[in-house]
Protein backbone atom coordinates (compact mmCIF):
# COMPACT_ATOMS: atom_id res chain seq x y z
CA UNK A 1 0.00 0.00 0.00
CA UNK A 2 1.45 3.24 -0.97
CA UNK A 3 1.43 6.04 1.55
CA UNK A 4 1.52 9.64 0.34
CA UNK A 5 3.47 12.20 2.30
CA UNK A 6 2.68 15.90 2.08
CA UNK A 7 5.42 18.28 1.26
CA UNK A 8 6.87 20.70 3.87
CA UNK A 9 5.12 23.64 2.13
CA UNK A 10 1.75 21.95 2.43
CA UNK A 11 2.38 21.25 6.11
CA UNK A 12 3.19 24.91 6.77
CA UNK A 13 0.06 26.01 4.92
CA UNK A 14 -2.10 23.68 6.94
CA UNK A 15 -0.52 24.88 10.18
CA UNK A 16 -1.14 28.55 9.37
CA UNK A 17 -4.73 27.81 8.36
CA UNK A 18 -5.30 26.02 11.64
CA UNK A 19 -3.73 28.87 13.63
CA UNK A 20 -5.65 31.61 11.84
CA UNK A 21 -8.96 31.11 13.69
CA UNK A 22 -7.09 31.11 16.99
CA UNK A 23 -5.40 34.41 16.10
CA UNK A 24 -8.74 35.93 15.06
CA UNK A 25 -10.35 34.86 18.29
CA UNK A 26 -7.37 36.16 20.27
CA UNK A 27 -7.48 39.54 18.49
CA UNK A 28 -11.23 39.82 19.07
CA UNK A 29 -10.78 39.02 22.73
CA UNK A 30 -8.07 41.65 23.02
CA UNK A 31 -10.31 44.29 21.42
CA UNK A 32 -13.20 43.43 23.72
CA UNK A 33 -11.01 43.30 26.80
CA UNK A 34 -11.16 46.63 28.67
CA UNK A 35 -7.84 45.86 30.26
CA UNK A 36 -6.04 45.94 26.96
CA UNK A 37 -3.55 48.94 26.91
CA UNK A 38 -4.10 49.58 23.21
CA UNK A 39 -7.87 49.68 23.70
CA UNK A 40 -7.64 52.02 26.69
CA UNK A 41 -5.38 54.38 24.78
CA UNK A 42 -7.84 54.52 21.88
CA UNK A 43 -10.69 55.29 24.27
CA UNK A 44 -8.68 58.02 25.97
CA UNK A 45 -7.81 59.68 22.68
CA UNK A 46 -11.42 59.50 21.62
CA UNK A 47 -12.65 61.18 24.82
CA UNK A 48 -10.02 63.98 24.87
CA UNK A 49 -8.68 64.83 21.40
CA UNK A 50 -5.09 66.01 21.37
CA UNK A 51 -6.05 69.31 19.74
CA UNK A 52 -8.80 70.24 22.25
CA UNK A 53 -8.18 73.25 24.58
CA UNK A 54 -10.11 74.58 27.49
CA UNK A 55 -11.77 77.95 26.67
CA UNK A 56 -10.44 81.06 28.42
CA UNK A 57 -12.74 82.57 31.06
CA UNK A 58 -14.68 85.55 29.76
CA UNK A 59 -13.19 87.79 32.46
CA UNK A 60 -9.67 87.17 31.10
CA UNK A 61 -10.72 87.78 27.51
CA UNK A 62 -12.28 91.10 28.54
CA UNK A 63 -9.05 92.15 30.25
CA UNK A 64 -7.03 91.87 27.04
CA UNK A 65 -9.14 92.95 24.05
CA UNK A 66 -7.60 92.56 20.59
CA UNK A 67 -7.91 96.26 19.80
CA UNK A 68 -6.41 97.57 23.04
CA UNK A 69 -3.00 98.49 21.64
CA UNK A 70 -4.42 100.23 18.56
CA UNK A 71 -6.81 102.30 20.67
CA UNK A 72 -4.17 103.36 23.17
CA UNK A 73 -1.96 104.60 20.33
CA UNK A 74 -4.78 106.42 18.48
CA UNK A 75 -4.30 110.13 19.22
CA UNK A 76 -7.82 110.94 18.01
CA UNK A 77 -9.18 109.01 20.98
CA UNK A 78 -7.18 111.22 23.35
CA UNK A 79 -7.96 114.66 21.94
CA UNK A 80 -4.90 114.70 19.70
CA UNK A 81 -2.46 113.93 22.51
CA UNK A 82 0.55 111.80 21.64
CA UNK A 83 2.23 109.37 24.05
CA UNK A 84 5.74 110.19 25.23
CA UNK A 85 6.54 106.48 24.88
CA UNK A 86 4.81 103.61 23.12
CA UNK A 87 2.27 101.63 25.13
CA UNK A 88 3.41 98.06 25.81
CA UNK A 89 1.53 95.45 27.75
CA UNK A 90 3.17 95.03 31.15
CA UNK A 91 4.60 98.58 31.17
CA UNK A 92 2.89 101.00 33.56
CA UNK A 93 3.24 104.77 33.14
CA UNK A 94 3.98 106.12 36.62
CA UNK A 95 4.31 109.54 38.26
CA UNK A 96 3.93 111.18 41.68
CA UNK A 97 2.00 114.36 42.43
CA UNK A 98 0.04 116.48 44.89
CA UNK A 99 -3.66 116.74 44.01
CA UNK A 100 -5.49 120.06 43.77
CA UNK A 101 -9.28 120.36 44.09
CA UNK A 102 -10.39 123.80 42.86
CA UNK A 103 -13.36 125.70 44.22
CA UNK A 104 -16.28 126.65 41.99
CA UNK A 105 -15.03 130.23 41.71
CA UNK A 106 -11.72 128.99 40.34
CA UNK A 107 -13.60 127.23 37.57
CA UNK A 108 -15.05 130.56 36.49
CA UNK A 109 -11.53 132.02 36.28
CA UNK A 110 -10.40 129.13 34.09
CA UNK A 111 -13.28 129.64 31.66
CA UNK A 112 -12.36 133.32 31.36
CA UNK A 113 -8.72 132.44 30.65
CA UNK A 114 -9.75 130.04 27.89
CA UNK A 115 -12.00 132.70 26.36
CA UNK A 116 -9.21 135.29 26.25
CA UNK A 117 -6.75 132.79 24.74
CA UNK A 118 -9.30 131.76 22.11
CA UNK A 119 -9.78 135.38 21.09
CA UNK A 120 -6.00 135.52 20.45
CA UNK A 121 -6.09 132.40 18.27
CA UNK A 122 -4.97 129.86 20.88
CA UNK A 123 -7.36 126.98 21.52
CA UNK A 124 -6.88 125.53 25.01
CA UNK A 125 -8.43 122.48 26.65
CA UNK A 126 -8.94 122.37 30.41
CA UNK A 127 -7.13 119.70 32.36
CA UNK A 128 -9.35 116.80 33.37
CA UNK A 129 -7.87 117.06 36.87
CA UNK A 130 -5.41 119.38 38.54
CA UNK A 131 -2.20 118.45 40.30
CA UNK A 132 1.36 119.50 41.02
CA UNK A 133 3.89 117.01 39.65
CA UNK A 134 6.77 115.82 41.83
CA UNK A 135 8.37 113.45 39.33
CA UNK A 136 8.74 112.80 35.66
CA UNK A 137 6.57 110.12 34.08
CA UNK A 138 8.53 106.87 34.16
CA UNK A 139 7.80 103.27 33.17
CA UNK A 140 7.35 100.54 35.78
CA UNK A 141 7.10 96.83 35.10
CA UNK A 142 4.08 95.31 36.82
CA UNK A 143 6.14 93.27 39.30
CA UNK A 144 7.94 96.46 40.43
CA UNK A 145 4.78 98.22 41.61
CA UNK A 146 4.61 96.75 45.10
CA UNK A 147 8.30 97.25 46.02
CA UNK A 148 8.27 100.70 44.39
CA UNK A 149 5.31 101.96 46.44
CA UNK A 150 6.74 100.35 49.56
CA UNK A 151 9.98 102.27 49.05
CA UNK A 152 8.04 105.51 48.51
CA UNK A 153 6.08 105.06 51.72
CA UNK A 154 9.26 104.48 53.71
CA UNK A 155 10.93 107.55 52.23
CA UNK A 156 7.98 109.82 53.04
CA UNK A 157 7.61 108.78 56.69
CA UNK A 158 9.07 112.00 58.09
CA UNK A 159 7.68 114.47 55.53
CA UNK A 160 5.19 116.92 57.04
CA UNK A 161 2.09 118.64 55.69
CA UNK A 162 2.34 122.22 54.46
CA UNK A 163 0.61 124.82 52.32
CA UNK A 164 1.88 126.32 49.09
CA UNK A 165 0.41 129.02 46.86
CA UNK A 166 0.64 129.82 43.16
CA UNK A 167 -0.43 132.90 41.23
CA UNK A 168 1.90 133.59 38.31
CA UNK A 169 1.01 132.16 34.91
CA UNK A 170 3.74 130.48 32.89
CA UNK A 171 3.94 128.61 29.57
CA UNK A 172 5.41 125.08 29.46
CA UNK A 173 6.06 122.65 26.60
CA UNK A 174 6.89 118.96 26.92
CA UNK A 175 10.21 117.54 25.71
CA UNK A 176 8.67 116.02 22.58
CA UNK A 177 7.09 119.39 21.65
CA UNK A 178 3.73 117.64 21.22
CA UNK A 179 1.80 119.63 23.86
CA UNK A 180 1.94 123.12 25.33
CA UNK A 181 0.59 123.91 28.79
CA UNK A 182 -0.65 126.99 30.57
CA UNK A 183 0.41 126.58 34.19
CA UNK A 184 0.32 128.51 37.44
CA UNK A 185 3.75 128.59 39.10
CA UNK A 186 4.24 128.12 42.83
CA UNK A 187 5.42 131.18 44.76
CA UNK A 188 5.47 129.83 48.36
CA UNK A 189 6.28 126.38 49.74
CA UNK A 190 9.19 125.79 47.37
CA UNK A 191 11.52 124.40 50.09
CA UNK A 192 8.98 121.84 51.30
CA UNK A 193 8.30 120.72 47.73
CA UNK A 194 12.02 120.14 47.19
CA UNK A 195 12.08 117.95 50.29
CA UNK A 196 9.32 115.78 48.83
CA UNK A 197 11.12 115.57 45.50
CA UNK A 198 14.29 114.39 47.24
CA UNK A 199 12.34 111.57 48.91
CA UNK A 200 10.78 110.56 45.59
CA UNK A 201 14.13 110.77 43.78
CA UNK A 202 15.68 108.32 46.24
CA UNK A 203 13.11 105.71 45.19
CA UNK A 204 13.61 106.54 41.50
CA UNK A 205 17.36 106.05 41.89
CA UNK A 206 16.81 102.76 43.69
CA UNK A 207 14.89 101.46 40.65
CA UNK A 208 17.24 103.13 38.13
CA UNK A 209 14.55 105.48 36.83
CA UNK A 210 14.81 109.14 35.80
CA UNK A 211 14.81 111.61 38.68
CA UNK A 212 13.07 115.00 38.66
CA UNK A 213 14.47 118.13 37.03
CA UNK A 214 17.49 119.73 38.74
CA UNK A 215 15.88 123.16 38.96
CA UNK A 216 12.14 122.42 38.87
CA UNK A 217 9.48 125.02 38.22
CA UNK A 218 6.71 123.69 40.43
CA UNK A 219 3.34 124.47 38.92
CA UNK A 220 -0.25 123.35 38.45
CA UNK A 221 -1.15 122.87 34.79
CA UNK A 222 -4.49 124.55 34.01
CA UNK A 223 -4.99 123.87 30.29
CA UNK A 224 -3.18 122.49 27.26
CA UNK A 225 -2.97 122.74 23.48
CA UNK A 226 -1.76 120.20 20.92
CA UNK A 227 1.67 120.90 19.46
CA UNK A 228 4.19 123.61 20.27
CA UNK A 229 2.30 126.91 20.52
CA UNK A 230 4.69 128.45 23.03
CA UNK A 231 5.23 131.66 21.08
CA UNK A 232 1.51 132.26 20.49
CA UNK A 233 0.75 131.76 24.17
CA UNK A 234 3.59 134.01 25.30
CA UNK A 235 2.16 136.80 23.16
CA UNK A 236 -1.01 136.86 25.26
CA UNK A 237 0.43 135.77 28.64
CA UNK A 238 0.37 139.31 30.05
CA UNK A 239 -3.30 139.71 29.22
CA UNK A 240 -4.04 136.35 30.80
CA UNK A 241 -2.07 137.33 33.89
CA UNK A 242 -4.16 140.47 34.17
CA UNK A 243 -7.29 138.33 34.29
CA UNK A 244 -5.79 136.34 37.18
CA UNK A 245 -4.71 139.45 39.11
CA UNK A 246 -8.15 141.02 38.81
CA UNK A 247 -9.97 137.91 39.95
CA UNK A 248 -10.91 137.36 43.60
CA UNK A 249 -9.82 133.71 43.45
CA UNK A 250 -6.75 134.40 41.31
CA UNK A 251 -4.25 132.91 43.77
CA UNK A 252 -4.23 129.15 43.97
CA UNK A 253 -3.89 127.63 47.46
CA UNK A 254 -2.72 124.03 47.64
CA UNK A 255 -3.06 122.13 50.93
CA UNK A 256 -0.29 119.55 50.70
CA UNK A 257 -1.55 116.79 53.00
CA UNK A 258 -1.19 113.74 50.76
CA UNK A 259 1.22 112.66 48.05
CA UNK A 260 -0.13 110.33 45.40
CA UNK A 261 1.47 107.91 42.99
CA UNK A 262 -0.41 106.90 39.86
CA UNK A 263 0.76 103.85 37.98
CA UNK A 264 -1.43 102.72 35.10
CA UNK A 265 -4.99 102.67 36.41
CA UNK A 266 -3.97 102.39 40.07
CA UNK A 267 -3.51 105.29 42.49
CA UNK A 268 -1.62 104.93 45.78
CA UNK A 269 -2.05 107.45 48.61
CA UNK A 270 0.70 108.52 51.01
CA UNK A 271 -0.57 110.82 53.81
CA UNK A 272 1.99 113.33 55.08
CA UNK A 273 2.64 113.77 58.77
CA UNK A 274 0.56 116.40 60.70
Contact 146, 268 (CB under 8 A): no
- b/e map of 79-96 (b: 16 or more CB within 10 Å)? eeeeeeeeeeeeebebbb
Whether residue 31 lies inside any domain: the answer is: no
247 is catalytic: no
Q: Which residue in 87, 101, 131, 158 is the catalytic one?
A: 131
**What is the pLDDT at residue 96?**
98
Whether residue 187 lies inside any domain: the answer is: yes
Please give the residue range of the domain that contains residue 139. Answer: 93-271
**What is the pLDDT at residue 243?**
95
What is the SS3 assignment for 116? helix
78 is catalytic: no
- b/e map of 14-30 (b: 16 or more CB within 10 Å)? eeeeeeeeeeeeeeeee
For residue 181, give the DSSP letter.
E
Distance CA 53, CA 56 (A): 9
What is the SS3 assignment for 88? coil
Distance of CA 75 to the CA centre of its chain: 16
**Number of structural domains found in the chain:** 1
Give the count of alpha carbons within 13 A of 62, CB side only.
Answer: 3
CATH of the domain at 201: 3.90.1140.10
Whether residue 190 lies inside any domain: the answer is: yes
What is the SS3 assignment for 153? helix
Kindly give the confidence (pLDDT) of every residue in the chain, 274 residues in length, as a single tens digit, with 9 standing for 90 and above: 444 444 444 444 454 444 444 554 545 444 444 444 444 444 444 454 554 566 656 555 455 444 444 444 444 444 555 555 565 678 999 999 999 998 888 999 999 999 999 999 999 999 999 999 999 999 999 999 999 999 999 999 999 999 999 999 999 999 899 999 999 999 999 999 999 999 999 999 999 999 999 999 999 999 999 999 999 999 999 999 999 999 887 789 999 999 999 999 999 999 999 9
Q: Which residue in 158, 190, 219, 247 is the catalytic one?
A: 219
Whether residue 130 lies inside any domain: the answer is: yes
Whether residue 68 lies inside any domain: the answer is: no
> pTM for the whole thing?
0.69
Distance CA 253, CA 258 (A): 15
Whether residue 47 lies inside any domain: the answer is: no
Give the count of alpha carbons within 13 A of 8, CB side only.
Answer: 0
Whether residue 166 lies inside any domain: the answer is: yes
Whether residue 36 lies inside any domain: the answer is: no
Amino acid sequence: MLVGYSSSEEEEGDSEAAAAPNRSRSRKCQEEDDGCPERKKAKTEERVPKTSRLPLPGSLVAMFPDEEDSLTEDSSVHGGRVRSFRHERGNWATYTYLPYHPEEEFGELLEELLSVARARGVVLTLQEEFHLSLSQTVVLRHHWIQPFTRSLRAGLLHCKRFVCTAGRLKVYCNAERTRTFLGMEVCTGHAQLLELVQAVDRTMTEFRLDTFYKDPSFHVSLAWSVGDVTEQMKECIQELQGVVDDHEEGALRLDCVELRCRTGNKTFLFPLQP
